[in-house]
Structure 1
Amino acid sequence: MATTSRQEQKATTRAAILRIASDEFDLHGYAATSVARVAENLQMTKGSVYFHFASKALLAAEVVRVSFDVWDPLVRSVDDHALSGLDAVRRLLVDLAQRYTDDASLRAALRLMREESPVRDRLPEALGVWAGVLRRYLDQAVGAGQLRPGTDVDALARHLVALFLGLQEITQRAPTDGSLAEQVEDAWETTLVGLVRTH
């Protein structure tokens, strides 16, 4: 029983560190974030943080790794609503945009991967995961005859990921142009119209 309690406490502390570190990386980036400030915000010692994460680089890497899990609840929601094909892709991208707006850990992960940091080389891996999720539903769209014949679904999946990241960057720099979810909706209507098969 005591061992289980210690394990639960360790997991709780680790999650709290990741939450605060995500806030710091999101707001300040890798270079300006310090383990000391993370510890101070948690009312812990630096040594306690280093017990869980041996370096700031490892802490940042875990923030990025955990962000890959963002798709699990989004995919479950799509499947629970029995969406498939292009309807599923649209829902995934809009929900991802909302998640980005609400979730500092996802914003932190994307910032860490696009700026100079020890985890920048994780970007191709992350984008591969994202494109793989979208490819699943784009394949359904092909099977359902929703896309024009000859559509390269691999290229389209990568394009949609790049489109999302570009819109995210634009929204960061010009927030008055609307929320990221709104930008994604607009892009869906304008960018993909040429790919959808007409009957």
Structure 2
Amino acid sequence: MVLQDRAKATREAIIAGAAAVFEEHGYGSASLTQVSDAAKVTKGALYFHFQSKEDLARAVIEEQHRIVVAESETLLAEDGPALPAMILLCRAFGLKLVHEPAVRAGIRLTLEATAFGPPVQGPYEDWIAVMEQLTDRAKREKQVRSSVDSEALARYLVASFTGVQMVSGVLTGRADVMQRIDEMWSILLPGIMHEDFHEDPQTLSRLVAAEVPIPRGAEVESSA
């Protein structure tokens, strides 16, 4: 058991070190020597867990996806209103980009995946599916207009978020990413909100900047 725990800790250290290196240098310029130095492990220990730089890159992408999925599952388990949940999911992802090197590295590697294999589609497909399900629920709850195509909106949201965080990364190192996500929603909401849903779009978009998410079971005022 002690050896298993030690091996698990070593693997986690390698992934963390790889995330730091990939985030800074990208896949093409990163080296396994840099990773072993960042993780403070020997080359032998690194090769025991990962046979190649490609294996390491895929492990970082998997870790990024695991972190985001776990955060999403926690939020969705609260079973709050659907439209605010969509906004809060973007908020949660934005905060992970700010605070989690593995998430930043995973996003960069996802965009660079053709350098070491086929495009990485799974994380995007999963996120689109969640947003589509939430849009369907928001339509039933009369928060989103019934005329909105749920799949199209889900794809648009994921594409918009991806572009917003990328531009924020280029211009400010993501220092303003939460503000940019807030702006994204403030522009989008007036065009999709149901006519019987009387929440202020600016109030909803500011959920992105809220220090604490809406509590479990919180109701957003709407007309039946």
Matched, 1:108 2:105: yes
What does residue 75 of structure 1 align with? 73
1:170-189 to structure 2, matched below 5 A, reads 170-175=167-172, 179-189=176-186
What does residue 23 of structure 1 align with? 20
Contact 2:144 2:193 in 1 (8 A): yes
Structure 1 residue 117: deviation in Å?
Answer: 2.4
1:148 counterpart (138, 141, 145): 145
Structure 1 residue 134: deviation in Å?
Answer: 1.8
Tell me how far apart the structure 2 counterparts of residues 181 and 50 of structure 1 sit (CA, whole Å). 38
Structure 1 residue 168: deviation in Å?
Answer: 0.8
Q: Alpha carbons of 1:43 and 1:187: their partners in 2 closer, same or farther (altered >3 Å)?
A: closer
Q: Alpha carbons of 1:9 and 1:176: their partners in 2 closer, same or farther (altered >3 Å)?
A: closer
Contact 2:131 2:154 in 1 (8 A): yes
2:119 counterpart (118, 121, 131): 121
* SS of corresponding position for 2:192: coil
Structure 1 residue 111: deviation in Å?
Answer: 0.6
What does residue 58 of structure 1 align with? 55
Matched, 1:135 2:121: no
Tell me how far apart the structure 2 counterparts of residues 91 and 78 of structure 1 sit (CA, whole Å). 10
Q: Deviations over 1:59-83 (max 9, x none)?
A: 1011111221212223313533x42
Tell me how far apart the structure 1 counterparts of residues 181 and 118 of structure 2 sit (CA, whole Å). 25
Aligned pairs, number: 194
What does residue 93 of structure 2 align with? 96
Amino acid in structure 2 at the alignment position of 1:54: Q
Amino acid in structure 2 at the alignment position of 1:75: E
Structure 1 residues without counterparts, runs of 5 or longer: none
Matched, 1:13 2:10: yes
Tell me how far apart the structure 2 counterparts of residues 72 and 43 of structure 1 sit (CA, whole Å). 27
Tell me how far apart the structure 1 counterparts of residues 189 and 148 of structure 2 sit (CA, whole Å). 11
Amino acid in structure 1 at the alignment position of 2:75: S
TM norm structure 2 = 0.81
Greater Cα shift, 89-98 or 43-52: 43-52
What does residue 159 of structure 2 align with? 162
Tell me how far apart the structure 2 counterparts of residues 171 and 119 of structure 1 sit (CA, whole Å). 27
What does residue 199 of structure 2 align with? none
TM norm structure 1 = 0.90
* SS of corresponding position for 1:193: helix
Tell me how far apart the structure 2 counterparts of residues 189 and 105 of structure 1 sit (CA, whole Å). 29
- What is the RMSD of the two structures over their aligned residues, measured on CA atoms? 1.8
Tell me how far apart the structure 2 counterparts of residues 161 and 112 of structure 1 sit (CA, whole Å). 17
Tell me how far apart the structure 1 counterparts of residues 143 and 89 of structure 2 sit (CA, whole Å). 17
Structure 1 residue 176: deviation in Å?
Answer: 8.5
